[in-house]
Structure 1
Amino acid sequence: MTTDRSILLCDDEVEIAEELAELFESFGWRVRLCHSAAAAKRILLEAMQPHCLITDLRLDDADGTSLVAFARGLPENLRPKLHAIMTGYVVDDTTAEDLGVDALYLKPVDPFVLIDDIEKRLAKRGEPGSS
């Protein structure tokens, strides 16, 4: 297990976010956790450059897609390598591509499936620290 993988989790459902953060940490990830788009933007501008950004679709202060658009607009040295959205809302036939993200997860998502999928997606991109 390596610790060179990093993730920024942004979800306004505090308990869910904290449980996910703990699980990612138990798999060797460095985790930054926040509960608003404004906080996520500050973290991204601190030059964190996480391997992955996972955000809820509906945040109290913004739409998750606007946070992803912000992250995608950052200089390459600050931009996350993988962008994902989680949502508990019905999205019908909406795809990850429709939302401008690499992955779309529907809540409740099995956290072990989530981690496995994220690691596989990063591995396909040749990212260091991915399984």
Structure 2
Amino acid sequence: MNRDRSIVICDDELELANEIGEFFQSHGWRVSVCGTAKDVRAILSRGFAPLCLLTDLRLKEEDGTELIAFARTLPPALRPGVCALITGHAADPAVGDNLGADLLYFKPADPFDILADLERYAERVAAQPA
């Protein structure tokens, strides 16, 4: 599967998740928006291996860190290339250790910053030998 420019966005604030999704779509990304970790688990388990998983830290039914931990247990060909957390809890002591995420953003995050980081990552992935 071609993972270039694909992202799964999970936030229980669906309006925010959809806005981020629309932003990425407008820049040529294939986007799946989910409001629950359960939905993300289902998508990833069906074999969709996105370049990026972007999840909120605080989800209603489970922590974003648990979702990232699950994604990292998938076989290499199925796991997201990069896992990113977005949080509004800058004072949370757990945020300091990056929670197992490759990238960490604080709300309100600038979508252009996220896009630039992920575009750079996509370029590195594309440059790697198959």
Question: What SS does structure 1 have at the residue aligned with 2:126?
Answer: coil
In structure 1, what is the equivalent of residue 125 of structure 2?
127
Which residue identity is paired with 2:12? D
**Residue correspondence of structure 1 range 103-122 to structure 2 within 5 A:** 103-122=103-122
Q: For 1:12 and 1:18, locate their aligned partners in 2 and report how far apart those are by CA, in whole Å.
A: 10
Consecutive unaligned residues of structure 2, counting only runs of 5 or more, are none
Q: Which has the higher helix share?
A: 2
In structure 2, what is the equivalent of residue 21 of structure 1?
21
Question: What SS does structure 2 have at the residue aligned with 1:40?
Answer: helix
Q: For 2:38 and 2:60, locate their aligned partners in 1 and report how far apart those are by CA, in whole Å.
A: 10
Contact 1:82 1:122 in 2 (8 A): no
Contact 1:71 1:79 in 2 (8 A): yes
Cα offset, 1:120, TM superposition: 1.6
Consecutive unaligned residues of structure 1, counting only runs of 5 or more, are none
Instruction: State percent identity of aligned pairs.
Output: 48
Question: What SS does structure 1 have at the residue aligned with 2:60?
Answer: coil
Q: For 1:112 and 1:38, locate their aligned partners in 2 and report how far apart those are by CA, in whole Å.
A: 28
Q: What is the count of residue pairs matched by the alignment?
A: 124
Q: For 1:42 and 1:74, locate their aligned partners in 2 and report how far apart those are by CA, in whole Å.
A: 12
Question: Any runs of at least 4 consecutive aligned residues in structure 1 with deviations exceeding 6 A, and if so which?
Answer: none
Q: Deviations over 1:9-46 (max 9, x none)?
A: 00001111000000000010000110111110000011
Q: For 2:98 and 2:90, locate their aligned partners in 1 and report how far apart those are by CA, in whole Å.
A: 14
Which residue identity is paired with 1:74? L
Contact 2:7 2:52 in 1 (8 A): yes
RMSD value, Cα: 1.8
Q: Does residue 52 in structure 1 map to residue 86 in structure 2?
A: no
Cα offset, 1:92, TM superposition: 5.4
TM-score by length of 1: 0.87
